[in-house]
């Protein structure tokens, strides 16, 4: 079929992390090799950051913020974008170090 544009609505949301990673890598490889562009619809900002150059944030079926991925994530303007970002879990390296120490690892 040779599509140049693919709409992907939550294509990895219900997948195991290893399968999700494989699908994302495949999509990136196809984009590079075949010149495919994606409209990648997701609630997962970590995946969006990995997959996208541009982002549009929707709230109540309207685009409330749009722009360069890193610019929007580093300097969100709309309260909904800020709420989405605040809901993303951030690993606490202290917990990782503490857990490793208890398991006899350095």
Q: What is the pLDDT of residue 48?
A: 87
Q: What is the pLDDT of residue 100?
A: 47
Assessment of whether the complete model's pTM goes beyond 0.75? no
| CA distance readout (Å), 22 to 9, 18, 38, 75, 100 | 17, 6, 16, 30, 28
List, for residues 74-93, the tens digit of each pLDDT value: 999 999 999 988 887 766 55
Q: Which two tokens stand for residue 89?
A: 């879990």
Alpha helices for 1-106 (secondary structure H): 17-34, 45-51, 69-74, 79-86, 93-102
With beta carbons less than 8 A apart as the criterion, state whether 10 and 42 touch: yes
Please give the angle made by the CA atoms of 5, 10 and 11, to the nearest 5 degrees: 70
Taking the C-alpha atoms of residue 51 and residue 24, their distance in angstroms, rounded to an integer, is 7
Nearest Cα to 8, choosing from 53, 65, 46, 52?
52
Q: What is the pLDDT of residue 6?
A: 94
């Amino acid at each position: 079929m040779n599509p140049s544009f693919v709409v992907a609505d939550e294509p990895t949301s219900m997948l195991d992390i290893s399968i999700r990673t494989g699908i994302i890598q495949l999509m990136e490889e196809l984009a590079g090799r075949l010149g495919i562009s994606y409209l990648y619809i997701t609630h997962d900002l970590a995946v969006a950051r990995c997959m996208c150059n541009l982002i549009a944030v929707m709230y109540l079926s309207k685009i409330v913020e749009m722009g360069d991925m890193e610019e929007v994530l580093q300097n969100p303007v709309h309260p909904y974008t800020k709420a989405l970002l605040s809901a993303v879990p951030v690993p606490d390296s202290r917990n990782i170090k503490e857990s490793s120490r208890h398991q006899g690892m350095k």
